[in-house]
Amino acid sequence: MRGPARSTVAEVSASRMPGRGKAVLTGIAFLVALAILLSLGTWQMQRLAWKEQLLADMAERRIAAPAPLADIEAMAAKGDDIEYRPVTVTGIFANNRERHFFATWRGQTGYYVYTPLQLADGRFLFVNRGFVPFEAKEPEMRKQGQLTGEQTVIGLARARLAEKPSSIVPDNDVAKNIFYWKDLDVMASSVAIPADKLVPFFVDAGDALNPKGLPIGAVTQFDLPNNHLQYAVTWYGLAAALVGVALYAVFRRKGDRPAP
């Protein structure tokens, strides 16, 4: 009698093993998925804190008093962040060397005009003087806006780009003087400005009016997207939904078990 009884117990235990193994694997997959969702939500919360601090820094910088160009250069040389820092600089525009950056402004297609400003020491600083509509790309169409003589520009320092920001951005068309991304080195070399005579960042001109209104200054955009809270809620919501599905499956499985 004992032999058959022991055999039956062993067979029952063996038949249950595949089910238990599946449950263990399911549990592991659940924990991994939950950990990924929670980590993504936490990462977005960290990004949210970083973005809010960045926006606060930008707002604080924009209302600061303009600093001399030498101060901004010293910061850049130390590797400090110069983005959106007010700056004042004096020089003479090299209007015959302006470069054109394809842009839209308030729904209108055109260009930002980047003109080298020659400083007293012979170096050049590219200034984004502002927007001109497509039909006013050529300087001959806006002669009165081609400022001559010594000019003082008050604007915002803008860092140079290390590389093209995205593969979907078109390559710059130097021959036609149309830039799709701000490659400072190429902008300079295309108008025969040597690297040792180039200030290694840009300046966006402020809202000082130009004759006949062109270029239109103060085109710096500050509307940085900040959707990190929305993304965090999404990831945490998916984590909560996953827990809910798992609990439902556990309780349903318990309810389906036959009574002893």
Q: Is the pLDDT of residue 172 over 80?
A: yes
Say which amino acid occupies 244.
G
**Average pLDDT of the residues of the chain:** 89
For residue 89, list its beta bridge partners.
153
User: Ramachandran region of residue 79, left (φ > 0), alpha (ψ -120 to 50) or beta?
Assistant: left
Cα 28 to Cα 17, 67, 125, 253: the distances in Å are 17, 58, 59, 18
Q: Rounded mean pLDDT of 183-197?
A: 98
Cα–Cα dist 54/254, whole Å: 51
Single out the residue of 73, 159, 149, 82 nearest to residue 117, CA to CA: 149
Predicted pLDDT of residue 6 = 53
Predicted pLDDT of residue 107 = 93
Confidence label for 258 from pLDDT (cuts 50, 70 and 90): low
Cα–Cα dist 210/129, whole Å: 9
Predicted pLDDT of residue 253 = 74
Say which amino acid occupies 260.
P
Predicted pLDDT of residue 9 = 47
Cβ count near 115 (within 10 Å): 25
Q: What is the pLDDT of residues 126-152, one digit of tens each?
A: 999 999 999 999 999 999 999 999 999
Confidence label for 69 from pLDDT (cuts 50, 70 and 90): very high
Cα–Cα dist 43/116, whole Å: 42
Predicted pLDDT of residue 14 = 47
Q: Which residue has the higher pLDDT, 108 or 246?
A: 108
For residue 201, list its beta bridge partners.
159
Predicted pLDDT of residue 3 = 53
Confidence label for 257 from pLDDT (cuts 50, 70 and 90): low
Cα–Cα dist 50/44, whole Å: 10
